[in-house]
Amino acid sequence: MTSITLESLTKSYGKAGPTVVDGIDLEVEDGEFVVLLGPSGCGKTTTLRMIAGLEKATTGLIKFGDRIMNEVSGDRRNVGMVFQNYALYPHMSVADNLSFGLRSRGSTKEEASARVDEVLELLELSALKRRKPKELSGGQRQRVALGRALVGRPSVFLMDEPLSNLDANLREHMRIEIGKLHNTLGITTIYVTHDQGEAMTLADRIVVMNNGKIRQVAKPRDIYNSPADSFVAKFIGSPGMNLIDAELRKVDNFFRFGSGISIPSSSVRFLDHYVNERVTLGIRPELLTVIGSEGAVRFSGKISLVEQMGSQLQTYVRLDGSDHHQNFIAKLPPDTPVNIGDQITLYASTSDLRFFEVEGGPLISSAAGEKDSPSEYLVG
Amino acid sequence: MALKFSNQPTLANEIEPGMELEAARKLSRQRDFYFRVKEKLIGYGLILPAGAVFLVFFYIPAAYLLVISFFHWGILSPTTNFVGLKNFRTLFHQPLFWRSLLNSAYYTLVMIPATTLLALAIAMLLRDGMTSRRGGIWRAAVFLPHVTPVVATSIIWVWVFNPHFGFANYILNLLHLPALGWLESTTWALPAVMIDSLWHSLGLYVIIFLAGLSRVPRELLEVATLDGAKKYRIFRRIIWPLISPTTFFVVILSTVNTWQAFSQIYTMTGGAHGGAGGPAFSTTTDAVLIYQTAFTYLHFSLAAAMSFVLFFIILTLTMVQKWISDRIVFYR
């Protein structure tokens, strides 16, 4: 096992080609489980492939421990990698898939067989060792892929969206399996996904990426509570944080946000610097209620759509006086009596509000007055 | 051939609420029958043009060929007599027929592995540049000979193999090797034809192999690399098994093409002057002998019997290859 350090890592394709990874810095501790999370095309898979040695970095450094790995070929980095589509050798049995790497590295048949049996037992695949991949279910194939990555005792475990080909139930099951496996083996793991559920449940830390850059590195809870910028705020959560761009004015003891939202100025004094400027207000849909306490911020509007989700009602509201056409979403209890076309007032505590500079800008500060963001890495 | 129509009406709409159950079932069966007939008619209608061409230019002549092989029939003869298996007996007693079979077997046994291995090697070299502009130029360069007319290029090869001022002997001279008689030598005439055939046909097989190689998932090669496998092991254990259906197809195709090779042999060995297959029958293959028997000696029924034997040989070889392939080819 080893720590991994990325320093100003960049990947560009050709002189005029796109820069898909743009000078990222990251430190992954020994035994840590780090998830690279971001939308498609954000550079997370390319980053993983550079760590694996399957892509050459254009500039920057990749270190395993203190050793610079840029010029070390993939087969000498001692990494185990799991691919999105399993990448099992279709013409080989499960046992042969696992032993191929060991035999390639010079293990004897007996050594390879013993090690393969050990890993198959760990993954409860012993009964399937003679089967070909096409005779396995999706979950079993994924376990074989995990086994193949583990069998060589890698010091780094890399996973590229390993669960994306599985159905929802199996994905959840395999997610738990991967979590358990990491707890058992403690191998330094970098896991790429665009599924925030996987990221939140598996990661020690999440790295949110967009357009080839790291937007935030933090623990799952901190990413959710204190997003570094409005991109992270919108990307994390399902649905993401409600974001409203409007001009901030001060009227008496209130900040007036746009034409309809008033916030007591005593609780958000840090906004004084932004009076008469446009800022982005954010509030998570699950923190909105239909019953408000004194001092709560009100959001009034007309209901445009109600989605029954079983455990909640996802309610889409067009805010009054809103100068934009964006829907404001609230997750309400499932028995809330709301209908399309109803006028509704939603309430949020000022401590749950987040403010960002406009156009994807960074977090101004939380309404709770936490001046220091818990995030280790903020862009901009 | 079954076609599915997304706008096919549902029968449930036509079954009225008051209708007896049996009547409804009958109506449903009738409608099913009509739809099946309609689908079949459309299917057969679509393959009819190609089928007609195949029937007129392939199946009918082939059947006619089999029929006339049992007759004594010449193009100038006013009568046609049924002779049973006499043509086949005559054939098997002719030393030249056996010589032609040996020549064809020699030609095929050299050409199949040479074509397959060389085409695969070139395809492997071109594989990495599949998407680049330079790769496209190389692919075109390799494929170009295949689209040139065989007769025209074979005439050029006759010049290349000219023993006195040909390019082939010039190269041998540069390598300090003795000059060869090439097309004038009973030993080297068929190898010279093979070189021409190889040059002409290779492009097609390279393209087929490139298509097969492009279907090997990149991730498998990457996993194998991370697994520590060296290039030869990756080829032997991953690529080779995964392209085995392509290899099998190339082997079948080259078997058929080499057993039937005619134009290049005819052109290069003096067919224009009536002496194809020389010198001393060293390049007389089955196809050449069939042509000469039919169109030089005008013995059509004997040529038909030869063609039938050739067909049987190719069929047998193909069946054997299929039998082998069922045991070693991996189909995903």
Transcribe A134-198 into DSSP letters.
GGS-HHHHHHHHHHHHHHT--SEEEEESTTTTS-HHHHHHHHHHHHHHHHHH--EEEEEES-HHH
The mean pLDDT of chain A is 89
Quote the pLDDT of residue B259.
86
- Per-residue pLDDT band for A371 (boundaries 50, 70, 90) equals very low
Is B45 buried (19+), middle (13-18) or exposed (0-12) by CB count in 10 A?
A: exposed
Cα distances from B144 to residues A378, B126, B138, B203, in angstroms, run: 57, 15, 10, 7
What is the rounded average pLDDT for all residues in chain B?
A: 88
pLDDT for res B25: 86
Cβ of B196: how many Cβ atoms within 10 Å?
23
Q: Nearest by CB to B332, from A87, A90, A152: name it.
A: A90
Measured in angstroms, the CA of A64 and the nearest CA of chain B are apart by 16
pLDDT tens-place string over residues B233-286: 999 999 999 999 999 999 999 998 998 889 999 999 976 666 788 788 999 999
Q: Within a domain: residue A68?
A: yes
Structure tokens at A283: 């509030």
> Are residue A141 and residue A91 in the same domain, yes or no?
yes
Interface test with A, best of B223, B233, B331 (most A CBs within 10 A): B223
Pair (A274, A336) in one structural domain: yes
Tell me if A272 is assigned to some domain. Answer: yes
Q: Which residues of A touch B (CB under 8 A)?
A: 52-54, 73-75, 79-81, 83, 85, 87, 89-91, 100-101, 104-105, 134, 148, 152
pLDDT above 70: residue A130: yes
B250 part of contact set with chain A, CB < 8 Å: no
Q: Is the pLDDT of residue B288 over 90?
A: yes
Is the per-residue pLDDT at A376 higher than 50? no
Is the CB of A104 less than 8 angstroms away from the CB of B233? yes
Residue A99 sits in the same domain as residue A51: yes
pLDDT tens string B213-227: 999 999 999 999 999
Are both A65 and A198 inside the same structural domain? yes
Same-domain check for residues A112 and A250 = no
- Domain contains A60: yes
Q: Is residue A69 part of a domain?
A: yes
Q: Name chain B contacts of A54, Cβ cutoff 8 Å.
A: 222, 225-226
pLDDT tier at B1, thresholds 50, 70, 90: very low
Contact A104 B226 (CB under 8 A): no
Q: Which residues of A touch B217 (CB under 8 A)?
A: 85, 87
What number is the average pLDDT over the span A244-254? 86
Dihedrals phi, psi of B283, to nearest 5 degrees: -115, 15
- The answer to whether B226 faces chain A, any CB pair under 8 Å, is yes
Same domain, A153 and A276: no
Is the Cβ pair B226, A53 closer than 8 Å? Answer: yes
Which residue in A has a C-alpha nearest to residue B329's C-alpha? A91
Report CA Rg, chain B.
27
**pLDDT (average), residues A3-14:** 94
Is the predicted pLDDT of residue B12 greater than 60, yes or no? no
The residue range of the domain holding A352 is: 240-357
How far is residue A91's CA from residue B242's CA, in Å, rounded to a whole number? 7
CA angle A266, A380, A276 (to 5 degrees): 40
Q: Which of B220, B227, B241 sits opposite A104 (nearest CB)?
A: B227
CB contact B237 to A (< 8 Å): yes
pLDDT at B80: 80
Position B172 pLDDT exceeds 60: yes
pLDDT of residue B260: 85
- Position A165 confidence tier, pLDDT thresholds 50, 70, 90: confident
- Same domain? For A218 and A264 the reply is no
Fold of B92-328: MetI-like fold (1.10.3720)
Decide if A330 contacts A285 (C-beta within 8 A): yes
Task: Please check the confidence at residue A332 and state whether its pLDDT lies above 80.
Answer: yes
Tens digits of residue pLDDT in B110-158:
999 999 999 999 999 988 766 677 778 888 899 999 999 999 999 999 9
* Beta-carbon pairs below 8 A across chains A and B: 61
Q: What is the mean pLDDT of residues A15-19?
A: 83
Cβ separation B224–A104 shorter than 8 A: yes
Minimal-distance CA residue of chain A relative to B242:
A91
In this structure, are A212 and A351 located in the same domain? Answer: no
The answer to whether the Cβ–Cβ distance between A87 and B217 falls below 8 Å is yes
Task: List strand residue ranges (DSSP E) for chain B, in order.
Answer: 71-72, 81-82
Judge if the upstream peptide bond of residue B279 is cis by omega within 30 degrees of 0. Answer: yes
Percent of chain A residues past pLDDT 90, beyond the cut: 61
Strand-by-strand arrangement of the A328-332 sheet: A328-332, A313-319, A297-308, A343-348
- pLDDT-based confidence at A377, cuts 50/70/90? very low
The answer for residues whose C-beta is within 8 angstroms of residue B113's C-beta and 6 or more apart is none
Cβ-based contacts of A90 with chain B (< 8 Å): 242, 330, 332
Q: Is residue A154 part of a domain?
A: yes
Report the CATH number at residue A296.
2.40.50.140
Looking at the fold, whether A218 and A246 belong to one and the same domain comes out as no
Asked whether the beta carbons of residue B226 and residue A54 sit closer than 8 angstroms, the reply is yes
The nearest alpha carbon in chain A to B332 belongs to A90
Predicted TM-score of the model (pTM): 0.78
Same domain, A196 and A259: no
Q: Which residues in chain A touch residue B222, judged by CB atoms under 8 angstroms apart?
A: 54, 74, 81, 83, 87
The percentage of chain A sitting over the pLDDT mark of 70, rounded to a whole number, equals 94
Q: Where are the domains of chain B?
A: 18-68, 92-328
Q: In this structure, are A11 and A127 located in the same domain?
A: yes
| Contact at CB, A74 and B242, closer than 8 angstroms | no
Closest in B217, B226, B229 to A81, CB measured: B226
Number of helices (H), then strands (E), in chain A: 8, 21
Mutate to test the interface with B, among A89, A96, A103, A132 (most CBs of B within 10 A): A89
The phi and psi torsions of A80 (rounded to 5 degrees) equal: -110, 130
Q: Which residues of A touch B224 (CB under 8 A)?
A: 89, 100, 104
- Counting the structural domains of chain A, the total is 2
Check residue B14 and give its pLDDT. Answer: 53
User: Distance between CA atoms of B178 and A91, rounded to whole angstroms?
Assistant: 49
The SS3 assignment for A133 reads helix
Structural domain includes residue A377? no
Q: Nearest residue of B to residue A79 by CA position?
A: B226
Q: Is residue A376 part of a domain?
A: no
Chain B CB contacts of A73 below 8 Å: 225
Q: Which one of B228, B230, B330 has the shortest CB-CB distance to A101?
A: B228
Contacts of A74 in chain B (CB under 8 A): 222, 225-226
B328 close to A (CB below 8 A): no
CATH number at residue A213: 3.40.50.300
Q: Are A154 and A303 part of one and the same domain?
A: no
- Judged against a pLDDT cut of 60, whether residue B289 lies above it is answered with yes
Instruction: Name the residue among A205, A237, A213, A214 with its Cα closest to residue A224.
Output: A237
Q: What value does the mean pLDDT take over residues A353-371? A: 71
State the ipTM, two decimals: 0.81
**Contacts of residue B331 in chain A, CB cutoff 8 Å?**
none
Nearest C-alpha in A relative to B240: A91
Q: Is A235 among the domain residues?
A: no
CA atoms of A313 and A299, how far apart (whole Å): 17
Distances from the Cα of B325 to the Cα of A134, A332, B119, B244, B253, angstroms: 20, 63, 19, 8, 14
